[in-house]
Amino acid sequence: MERLLSKLLPISIFNELYRSADLNTLTEIRLRLDKPLYYAEAGKYKRLDGVSVGKDDLTYTLGAATKSSLYAYNEYLADGYITYDGGIRIGITGEGVVKNRQLSTLKNITSLCIRIPRYVEIHNDKVDGLINKFDNTLIISKPGLGKTTLLRYLIKSLSDREYNVLVLDERGELSGVVDGRLSIDLGACTDIVVGVPKITAYSSQVRSMRPDVIATDEIFGEKEIDCILDCIRCGVKVIATLHSDELAKVKKSPAYSRLLNDFRYVVSIIGIGNVDRIIDLRGNYA
């Protein structure tokens, strides 16, 4: 990670960060134009004194993140993020460029949010129990509390138990696949689809890859819910994450509550590797 960050950040910023932060627990770096740099270690934000982020710093970082290939990132910029080596995801804000009444890209970048993925071994009886009695599982929490980290752990654990796990990784964040290279080990029986819109991937890959389990991050929208329910109907198990701070809110949403008819477990987490509770929707609480 140290090597990747040294490539990604301007040397002056990297040196300061290297001096002040613990790169092994670093989870996020926030660069905002003409503002001090903030970073998060194990989810806690700290301010990097003595560093003010300039326009050149943002331009450098964006150039390094796109590997001097901005032309290949138009659509990603319009979506507000790009993925760098090692599954590092960079959220971007700036001025929108609209063509034919559609957002085509961003210019005059003002903020970059660099999120660093980690594979964390989760030693937790509740999680072990979930793996042993595996069924359709929905992981919920607020952003930044470790849904993706838990999802990665579940994927690898199931894959190690020889389930064929199909990972639909539209943004390359789960697997850290960039330019065809895998930087996070998700197990020997895992197949990874990167860069394909999830809605397309559900139907085509279920037929072609015959997965036992489909894993996907951040369910969003009715179309995706329909696809997931279709997969479950086909007999494929699904593990997915959803942004929500509590199950009651999911139940209130007409769209997302449909998932609860077919998902068996809802895992609510309160920190990286820290499971609050696992709710068995068939009646038992763990």
Partner 1 sequence: MLKFAISGVLCFICAYLGLAGKNYYDKRCKYLKDFSEFLASLRDGMSYANDKLPQIGRKFISGGKGAFYTDLGEYVNAVDNGNPTQEEVKKCFDSKYVSKSDKVMLKEFFCELGKFDYDTQMSRLNMTASQLKRTVEKAEKERKTTGNLLPKLGLVLGIAIMIILA
Using CB under 8 A, list all residues that contact partner 1: 6-8, 60-61, 63-64, 66-72, 74, 104-105, 179
Please give the Cα distance from 284 to 257 (Å, whole number). 19
Shortest approach of partner 1 to residue 19 CB, angstroms? 19
In this complex, which beta carbon is closest to partner 1, that of residue 69 or of residue 261?
69
Shortest approach of partner 1 to residue 155 CB, angstroms? 27
Q: In terms of DSSP bridges, do strands 81-83 and 89-99 run parallel, antiparallel, or are they unpaired? A: antiparallel
In this complex, which beta carbon is closest to partner 1, that of residue 12 or of residue 203?
12
Shortest approach of partner 1 to residue 82 CB, angstroms? 11
In this complex, which beta carbon is closest to partner 1, that of residue 61 or of residue 241?
61
Q: Is 249 helix (H, G, I), strand (E, B) or coil?
A: helix
Helix axes 222-233, 198-209, angle to 10 degrees: 10
Shortest approach of partner 1 to residue 59 CB, angstroms? 8
In this complex, which beta carbon is closest to partner 1, that of residue 63 or of residue 197?
63
- Provide long-range contacts, Cβ within 8 A and 24+ apart, for 250-259: 250/138, 250/140, 255/221, 255/222, 255/225, 256/219, 256/225, 258/225, 258/229, 259/138, 259/219, 259/225, 259/228, 259/229
Shortest approach of partner 1 to residue 170 CB, angstroms? 15
In this complex, which beta carbon is closest to partner 1, that of residue 33 or of residue 232?
33
